[in-house]
Amino acid sequence: MTTETESLQPQIGTNERPALDQEKSMIEIDDLSFSYDHGKTDTLKNITLKIPGNQVTAFIGPSGCGKSTLLRCLNRMNDLVETSKITNGSISILGEDIYGPRVDAIQLRKHVGMVFQKYNPFPKSIYDNVSYGLRIGGEKNKKRLDEAVERSLRSAALWDEVKDRLQSSALGLSGGQQQRLCIARTIAVQPKIILMDEPCSALDPIATAKVEELITELADEFTIVIVTHSMSQASRVSDNTAFYYLGELIEFDRTQNLFSNPSKKQTEDYITGRFG
C-alpha cells in the first residue's frame, strides 16, 4: 500500500522558461506563517510561493531574514524544535500537504533531501557513506548497492577521484570532496527535491566552483532549492530567486529579471549593497 508521501511523483521539467506563474509547481507555499516560540512571534510571515520543478531556486536576503527557516520547513526539519509551529497556511509538494496527518516526516525526508552548510560525512568509508540511506531503507543486495554508489558518485562528479579508495575513510577527503560526497549520499536514495543550506560557505573558491557546476547539472534530474548568502552565486546557479526581508517574501522572479530589473525598491537596495 502506498502512503501519502510515497505517492509523490516527480514532474519532468522543460528547457523553456514561461512566466513563473504559468509553470507547473513542484512546491506550493500558501500564506505560510511560522513561529519558533509557540506562536507568540512569527519568524515567517504570510509567505506565498510556487517553486517549479527541475530548476534551481535560490533564497537570498540578509542574515536573520528567515530563508533557512523556510528551507527547513520544506522537509519538516523544524519539527525537531519542540516550540516551533506553523501558525498559518500550508506547504504542498505535488499537491499533497506535507504537514497533513497522513504524511510521515521521516518518509518525507526520503523525497526531500538536504545538504547542510558544513559538510558532515559519517566517520565511515566513502562506500558506506553513500550506501547508508539505502541500507537503512532495507536494501541488502550488494550488486544494487554497488550500482547505486557508483551512479551517485558519478552524479556528484566524484567517482573518478575516489573509485580506487571506496573503502577509505570519508574523513580523509578534502572539504570540497566531502561536500560532494554529502551530495552523493543525498541523491543515492533518489529524492525528488534537494535542499541546500549555504552548501559552499565553508569551501574555497575552487571547491565552490565545482559544487556550483554540480548544482547546475543536477537540476536536470532534481528540483533544487538553495539558500545562499552570495548574490553572485545565486546569479550563477539559479533559474529563479526569492528575496526575503524580516521574515517576509519581498520579491520572487526569474533570476535574470530580479537582478537586472527588480520590481521592488527593497530588492534593488539589497542587491546594490545599500543594506544587508
* Residues β-bridged to residue 86: 34
Instruction: Report residue 169's pLDDT band, with 50, 70 and 90 as the boundaries.
Output: very high
Residue with cell 530588492: 267
State the average pLDDT over residues 38-49.
96
Closest by CA position to 215, among listed 246, 244, 255, 245: 255
The pLDDT tens digits of the residues spanning 48-79 come to 999 999 999 999 999 999 999 999 999 999 99
| SS3 assignment, position 58 | strand
Instruction: Report residue 274's pLDDT band, with 50, 70 and 90 as the boundaries.
Output: confident
The pLDDT tens digits of the residues spanning 70-127 come to 999 999 999 999 999 999 999 999 899 999 999 999 999 999 999 999 999 999 999 9
Yes or no: say if 259 and 273 are a contact pair by the CB < 8 Å rule.
Answer: no
Yes or no: say if 16 and 71 are a contact pair by the CB < 8 Å rule.
Answer: no
pLDDT at 2 over 50: no
Instruction: Report residue 17's pLDDT band, with 50, 70 and 90 as the boundaries.
Output: low
Closest by CA position to 26, among listed 111, 103, 115, 105: 111
Whole-number pLDDT of residue 13:
34
